[in-house]
Chain A
Amino acid sequence: MREMMIILVSAVLVDNFVLTKFMGICPFLGVSKKVDSAAGMGVAVTFVMVMATLCTYPVYTLLLVPFGLQYLNTVSFILIIALFVQLVEIILRRFVPPLYQALGIYLPLITTNCAVLGVTLLNITEEYTFAQSVVNALGAGIGFTIALLLFAGVRRRLEAANPPKPFSGMPITLISAAIVSLSFLGFSGVVENLFG
């Protein structure tokens, strides 16, 4: 249990996917303008991350490893993610229309989100067990959501700011992302002290 908590808290705070691992920067910069859309994207990514891990881990351990095909992990994982995202979209549209209304527009974009492929591949390279992988995926998703929500707040202030002209738009957004990332640096060492 303690081990699980360490993995979870590390994935959420210390090794935040967006701010320290640089995965999923595109949605981080693109969808963080409004708090609602940031929350929607965050929930959709978390959901797909956990489900993708549930699908890719068995495929890797039960199919690729016994046949010595580990090198096919990138190809097979991206296919599984693409298929899975499509499937979720169809199921949601058919059976849970309100959820589809809320998350639907984000789903197709998640296929090419490197955070999802990243977390499934990372679970393999870190040699996590099945349960640890799922916890890691959940933590990565929560971390992604937190980063997006926090940054949505920062960006609301940026809208009103008046930076020098060459800095307006994306450059000033990136520089504020640098400051947010700097604040996450403060979490390093926290996990050891919390659970150590």
Chain B
Amino acid sequence: MKNREIFLRGLLKENPVLVMLLGTCPTLAVTTMALNGIGMGLATTFVLLGSNVVISLLKRVIPKEVRLPCYIVIIAGFVTLVGFLLERYLPALNQALGLFLSLITVNCIILGRAEMFASKNSVGKSALDALGMGFGFTLALFCMGAVRELIGAGTIFGIDITFGVLEPMLIFILPAGGFFVFGCLIALVNRLTKGRAAERRSQADGCAGCPAAGACGGCEEVAK
């Protein structure tokens, strides 16, 4: 596979959230504002890049039987690192992401990429894959956050655009709005790709090897 393709497929064609339906928890939880979505996306991209590179470097060292605990520890290490960096340089974002910053550890996108890609490919390719998937994740979170912030609070990046004329619909930044917007976005993707997104979900190699296979929504779609 060409390097360009490895990078680009994560952005749109195999977008981890909108097409593959992975990492739904942070997608729903932190996207009350567009900026939080971007922050979460970039934090996850950093962890994904670090863990993919390290796992790719160690792919001959890690014994196959205990690879999952090894991957989880590597990922958790990078999560701790991100936590430190945000606490020092971006305390406001750290506060907004809260518990979900630590929960990047169990984001199935990261473990999935480690298992499906980094453990089988070279360091350079794994890094590209991490960047593509990470930016795809960031893009999806930004879309979610922008829609919810616009309708729910009447602002974009914190700037009020309703001029006091329209009353924002608070429900969109409440949990129920998260489910609703996510459902509509996936429906939109299905419509725009004329059902190809759902097909790709079933063909992609993304799920079968994932340790969370069967427990997550994406996989059941595959089984169908």
**Interface, chain A (partner B; CB < 8 A):** 19-27, 29-31, 33, 41, 71-75, 78-79, 82-83, 105-106, 108-114, 117-118, 121-122, 125, 164-167, 169-175, 177-179, 181-182, 185
Contacts and interface: CB of A to CB of B under 8 A. Distances in A.
B183 to A, nearest CB: 3
Contacts of A174: 179-180, 182-183, 186
A77 to B, nearest CB: 9
Nearest to B185: A171
Interface residues of B, number: 53
B34 interface: no
A110 B211 CA distance: 10
Contacts, number: 158
A71 B84 contact: yes
Given A75-B80, A174-B186, A175-B184, A113 B195 contact: no
B24 A26 contact: yes
B62 to A, nearest CB: 15
Given A29-B24, A71-B83, A78-B106, A181 B176 contact: yes
Given A27-B216, A117-B106, A112 B211 contact: yes
A109 B198 contact: no
A30 B29 contact: no
Contact of B187 (A26, A29, A41, A167): A167
A164 B187 CA distance: 9
B69 interface: yes
Nearest to A76: B76
Given A26-B212, A185-B174, A121 B99 contact: yes
Contacts of B103: 23, 114, 117-118, 121
B77 A21 contact: no
22 contacts: A20-B175, A22-B175, A25-B24, A26-B25, A29-B220, A30-B218, A73-B102, A75-B77, A78-B72, A82-B69, A109-B214, A110-B215, A111-B72, A113-B106, A113-B215, A117-B103, A166-B187, A166-B195, A173-B183, A174-B180, A181-B175, A182-B171
Interface string B153-190: 00000000000000000010011111110111011101
A185 B176 contact: yes
A170 B18 CA distance: 11
Interface in B206-224: 211-221
Contacts of B21: 170
Contacts of B108: 26, 112
A75 B220 CA distance: 30
Given A170-B183, A174-B180, A175-B184, A74 B215 contact: no
Nearest to A109: B215
B77 to A, nearest CB: 6
Given A75-B80, A181-B176, A171 B105 contact: no
B25 A22 contact: yes
B128 interface: no
Contacts of A72: 80
A117 B105 contact: yes
B191 interface: yes
A131 to B, nearest CB: 22
Given A21-B29, A74-B105, A125-B99, A169 B182 contact: no
Interface string B76-102: 110110011000000000000011001
Interface in B24-80: 24-25, 28-29, 68-69, 72-73, 76-77, 79-80
B183 A171 contact: yes
A175 B185 CA distance: 11
Given A26-B25, A26-B108, A121-B99, 5 more contacts: A22-B175, A25-B217, A29-B217, A30-B219, A112-B211
Give the top 6 A-B pairs by smallest Cβ distance, nearest first.
A174-B183, A29-B217, A109-B215, A26-B216, A178-B179, A22-B29
